[in-house]
Amino acid sequence: MATSTSKREVHFQVMWNRLISVVEEQALTLIRTAFSTSVREAGDLSAGVFDREGRMVAQAVTGTPGHVNTMAAAVPHFIADIGPERIYPGDVYLTNDPWKGTGHLHDITVTTPVFVGEDLIGFFACTAHVVDIGGRGYGADAREVYEEGIRIPIMKWAERGALSHDLVNIIRNNVREADQVVGDIHGLAACNETGRRRLLEMLDEFDLNDIDELAAFIFDRTASATMSALESVPKGTYANQMQVDGYDETISLAVDLTVTDTGMHADFTGTSPLSPFGINVPITYAQAYFTYGMLVALAPELPNNYASLAPFTVSAPPGVILNAQDPDPVAVRHVIGHFVTDLCLGAIAPALPDVVPAEGAGALWNFQASARAAKPGSGLAPVELLMFNSGGTGARPSLDGLTATAFPSGVMTMSAEATEQIGPIIVWRKEIRENSGGDGRQRGGLGQILEIGSTDGYLFEFSSMFDRVENPARGRAGGKDGAPGKVYLDDGTPFPTKGRQTVPADRHLILELPGGGGFGDPSERDPDAIENDRRQGYVT
């Protein structure tokens, strides 16, 4: 009996690994077919397979927490809104609803059912950030979600294999970059189709009719491993607060994190009220980054699925910035939402002093610009541009922070060359920002400096969405704060850090990205590490 049970477990483990390879190929299909540089260069996407109830069974390693963990909650909305009786082979569904998808309109989530014969056995879903969704453009200036772009309810992109040309036409006529956006949606559909085909091949190979038993095995093993990891945090309630720049006034983020025998609960009561601008965060997005932070701290090797996410719950009173309600503006929810990870890690730091890092730069410094002709009537076509940039991460208890690395978003750096190919932009400088990492026994990660200008005949209408300029990343355990960010023009003129602005045709925009906080007493830093920092030019 023991041998038989062991063989069964090995068999299921092999299939689990195979399933992860299926969703990885699903994600790579999206990267290969994407029009947007944020997808194909930075990996700003998610992909996963779900059971027939809409529970995530496996996710691709490629992807971001803000997409993966919100997409995990999105698929049940698709099932409910489409209706089980209207789900057919050959269907493809999509939405960008912030409260049923990933938190803002610029993310398109696509879901595809999988059938074996006439039997529905599960779904594939994927998400990607598109370069434009209409409205005011990607920025924080809107006062309601209606201004932020076209909002697509859960609809059928295709039914029984037939594309909805009416829906395609509606989208094309409401966005600035129609070819890119529609092309990306086709890429999302192709991504799911790749997953569907590979899953059916896998089922044939293993002589299975569905994934029910495999999903049950995965959920059981994952639940046990997750609860075992949670045992490293003593039961009780932990609190933390953090201040970030906000739009026009400082925002306070607060959490009470309660650890019980059944999981962790983060309550954000005490957080600042909603902003009138689009930096508000739907609570599903806050939950995504809370859960991510806890999993990377407690069980970094654990595959992500329904069972690993289930023990982590959140709450917040309506009216706080981490619980935006329809129709609050949420376009750049990442600016505040990315800080939730450091906020919650800071709460449990006393319980895990050898695990939790210092605070880092947190939010991405996205360069989102509309390139326009400097002289009307010149015939130069407008172009939408998006470039992701990252500051430094916080120092870790035993290692320095990472330089110019996106944490917690996890997106990859977008190269200057790839950005310059898509529009009238020149990246004049992209270099490590010396002296930006907080001092400590372990040094905080360094930020970077970018100098960006337009090519002849163009200017930039530019959406600033930068933080940690007034409130730098805090050090931990005696470590010093990281350097705050700076934004200015090449003639020294200070540049606003939020809102829509214009970079004149004859000026360059300079971004000095913030560094991460240091960890531990700076006097305890290894002399060899100090000398290496000097030799590498990290400090002067």
- For the stretch 234-250, pLDDT in tens is 999 999 999 999 998 99
Q: Three-state SS across 252-297?
A: EEEEEEEEECCEEEEECCCCCECCCCCCCCCHHHHHHHHHHHHHHH
Report the C-alpha gap between 158 and 188 in whole angstroms. Answer: 12
DSSP per position, 439-455: PSSBPPPP-EEEEEEEP
Q: Is 106 helix (H, G, I), strand (E, B) or coil?
A: coil
Mean pLDDT of 267-293: 97
SS3 percent helix, strand, coil of the chain, rounded to 5, is: 30, 25, 45
pLDDT at 45: 87
pLDDT at 3: 54
* 64 — pLDDT class (breaks 50, 70, 90): confident
- What is the tens place of the pLDDT at every residue in 176-222? 999 999 999 999 999 999 999 999 999 999 999 999 999 999 999 99
Q: Is the pLDDT of residue 134 over 60?
A: yes
pLDDT at 243: 98
Report the C-alpha gap between 501 and 513 in whole angstroms. Answer: 19
Half-sphere exposure of 426 toward its Cβ, with a 13 Å CA cutoff?
Answer: 12
306 contacts 55 by C-beta, under 8 angstroms: yes
- What is the tens place of the pLDDT at every residue in 290-342? 999 999 999 999 989 999 999 999 999 999 999 999 999 999 999 999 999 99
The one-letter code for the residue type at 137 is: G
Nearest-CA neighbor of 322 among 291, 368, 290, 363?
290
Edge-to-edge strand ranges of the sheet holding 425-432: 425-432, 448-454, 509-512, 486-489
* 63 — pLDDT class (breaks 50, 70, 90): confident
Report the C-alpha gap between 28 and 198 in whole angstroms. Answer: 13
Element holding 111 (H helix, E strand): strand 107-116
- What is the tens place of the pLDDT at every residue in 409-456? 988 888 888 888 888 999 999 999 999 999 999 999 999 999 999 988
Nearest-CA neighbor of 65 among 340, 339, 292, 290?
292
Report the C-alpha gap between 461 and 150 in whole angstroms. Answer: 20
Q: Hey, which residues does 462 pair with through a beta bridge?
A: 369, 501
Cα-based torsion angle of the residue sequence 306, 310, 311, 312 in order, rounded to the nearest 10 degrees: 110
Which distant-in-sequence residues (6+ apart) come within 8 Å of 78 by Cβ? 54, 93, 95, 111, 123, 125, 154
pLDDT at 1: 44
Report the C-alpha gap between 445 and 539 in whole angstroms. Answer: 12
Cα-based torsion angle of the residue sequence 208, 212, 214, 220 in order, rounded to the nearest 10 degrees: -160
Q: Is 79 helix (H, G, I), strand (E, B) or coil?
A: helix
Report the C-alpha gap between 499 and 247 in whole angstroms. Answer: 8
231 contacts 261 by C-beta, under 8 angstroms: no
396 contacts 517 by C-beta, under 8 angstroms: no
CA angle 28, 32, 38 (to 5 degrees): 90
Rounded (10°) angle between helices 212-230 and 283-298: 70
Element holding 369 (H helix, E strand): strand 367-373
Question: Tokens 């569905």 belong to which residue?
Answer: 210
Q: DSSP class of residue 233?
A: S
- Name which of 37-41, 79-83, 119-123 the model is least confident about: 37-41
Report the C-alpha gap between 344 and 253 in whole angstroms. Answer: 10
> What's the first-to-final CA gap in the chain, in angstroms?
67
Element holding 47 (H helix, E strand): strand 45-51
